[in-house]
Amino acid sequence: MNTTHTTLYRDKETGKLGGVCAGVADYTGINPFWVRFGFLLTLPVLSWITVPAYLLMWILLSKKPPHLYRDDKEQQYWQRVRQSPKRTAREIRSQFRAIDRRLAEVEQYYVSSNPRLSDEIERLR
């Protein structure tokens, strides 16, 4: 599952320097403030790895396409897919089952209130 929605990008629109922290925040669904805060906390202790990792990501990651998501709801959906694809698939299956149950109730109501249709269905069986 490697689509444009499941790829890590640099987010220059909401980024401060190179867009790396904003891109990681968008990918994980975490608030960009907390990603930047975590980066700044690791600087004094792990600057020998944090700075080169940031620069490497700045160079290697592509810029985020301008219209990757239609709205905030779609962005949240794809963040959930990246965090837990199995859980997201379960949620979608559950929604389809609920729709199917409601549709069956509508069919049952319509068939039970329409004896001619009910007779026609019985003849077809």
Instruction: For residues 69 and 15, give the distance between their C-alpha atoms in angstroms, rounded to a whole number.
Output: 17
- 71 and 105 assigned to the same domain: no
Quote the pLDDT of residue 48. Answer: 87
- 52 and 29 assigned to the same domain: yes
0.85 exceeded by the pTM?
A: no
- 110 and 67 assigned to the same domain: no
Give the residue with greater pLDDT, 109 vs 30.
30
Copy the structure tokens of residue 48.
Answer: 């020998």
Instruction: For residues 9 and 116, give the distance between their C-alpha atoms in angstroms, rounded to a whole number.
Output: 59
- Average pLDDT value for the chain: 81
Does the pLDDT at position 72 exceed 70? yes
Query: Could you tell me which residues come within 8 angstroms of residue 85 by beta carbon, excluding any fewer than 6 positions away?
Result: 1
Average pLDDT value for residue range 52-72:
81
Average pLDDT value for residue range 93-98:
90
**Nearest Cα to Cα of residue 65 among 53, 56, 75, 55:** 75
**Nearest Cα to Cα of residue 63 among 7, 3, 10:** 10
The pLDDT-based confidence of 97 (bands split at 50, 70, 90) is very high
Determine how many CB atoms are found less than 10 A away from the CB of residue 95: 10
pLDDT tens-digit readout, 2-30: 566 667 778 777 778 888 888 888 888 78
Winning range, highest mean pLDDT, from 14-23, 62-71, 72-81: 14-23
Encode burial over 32-41: b for 16+ CB neighbours within 10 A, e otherwise: beebbeebee
Phi, psi of 63 (to 5 degrees): -70, 145
- 43 and 58 assigned to the same domain: yes
The domain of 79 spans 1-83
Does the pLDDT at position 68 exceed 80? no
